[in-house]
Amino acid sequence: MVPLKKETDSIPIVFVQVSDPLGQGVVESLARPTGNITGFSNLEFSLIGKYLQILREIAPSTTRVAVMIHTSNAVSANWFRMFNTVAPSFAIEPITAPSRDRSDIEPTIESLARGPNGGLILPSDTFFENPGVRKFIVELTASHRLPALYANREFVRDGGLMSYGIDQLDQFRGAASYVDRILKGERPADLPVQQPAKFELVINLKTAKALGLAVPMTMQMTADEVIE
């Protein structure tokens, strides 16, 4: 998004799935973005607390959790900082796991699995969401019997344990509405940058059973999708 901003300051731009647009300098303000750019952010750093809560609900013995993020992710430092701050309140030992490429994934998961009561969290990250990499991670967590929570539901459809993240389609619907309003004469500067508002929980019961985990009925009832 930042390179695109450098190309024009006059053509209206509506973005979706941009992480921390304020912190990255994409906009000067969320409420009044100014300039020619507005759109929809794809994360809320406070989600790390929700991730830990959900992971502990389904795997209550978890006491060590790694957050794995690719080093090219522009907001990785923010995720790690928030994680290190929040984890102790859940009696969780935080493990930060930056990953430079695919070769770093297996050692990270193997190291985590060697100790007791480990768990893994993968926030939204385009590198890990590549289908080949995604399936590789799901297979590794399964073989090491490691409970993992993902931000993208496609991991769960590939056999991952569970996901909690934004409704991706909802962002594009909102973006279409913004484009329509701009074409009708409104300025991007007058359209606030929207933070995620709709989230979805997806659980794979088959994977939970394979890991020896009992998913609380309350979680099953509140989940947006349960894969059996």
Look at residue 9 in the predicted model and tell me its pLDDT: 85
In the predicted structure, residue 183 carries a pLDDT above the cut 80: yes
In the predicted structure, residue 43 carries a pLDDT above the cut 80: no
Handedness of CA 115, 100, 201, 89 (dihedral sign): positive
Look at residue 7 in the predicted model and tell me its pLDDT: 84
51 vs 7, residue with greater confidence: 51
Look at residue 212 in the predicted model and tell me its pLDDT: 95
Look at residue 156 in the predicted model and tell me its pLDDT: 97
In the predicted structure, residue 220 carries a pLDDT above the cut 80: yes
Tens-place pLDDT, residues 102-149:
999 999 999 999 999 999 999 988 899 999 999 999 999 999 999 999
Look at residue 107 in the predicted model and tell me its pLDDT: 95
How many percent of the chain have pLDDT more than 70?
A: 99
Tens-place pLDDT, residues 191-212:
999 988 889 999 999 999 999 9
Q: How far is CA 183 from CA 50, 147, 191, 220, in A?
A: 38, 47, 13, 43
Q: What tokens appear for 132 in the block?
A: 């080949």
CATH number at residue 110: 3.40.50.2300
Number of domains comprising the chain: 2
Shared domain for 92 and 205, answered yes or no, is yes
Shared domain for 213 and 101, answered yes or no, is yes
Q: What tokens appear for 127 in the block?
A: 């590198």
pLDDT tier, 19 (very low <50, low <70, confident <90, very high otherwise): confident
Are 135 and 158 within 8 A, CB to CB? yes
Look at residue 59 in the predicted model and tell me its pLDDT: 96
Shared domain for 127 and 137, answered yes or no, is yes
Shared domain for 31 and 57, answered yes or no, is no
Shared domain for 25 and 100, answered yes or no, is no
Could you list the residue range(s) of the whole structural domain that residue 220 is in? 47-165+200-227
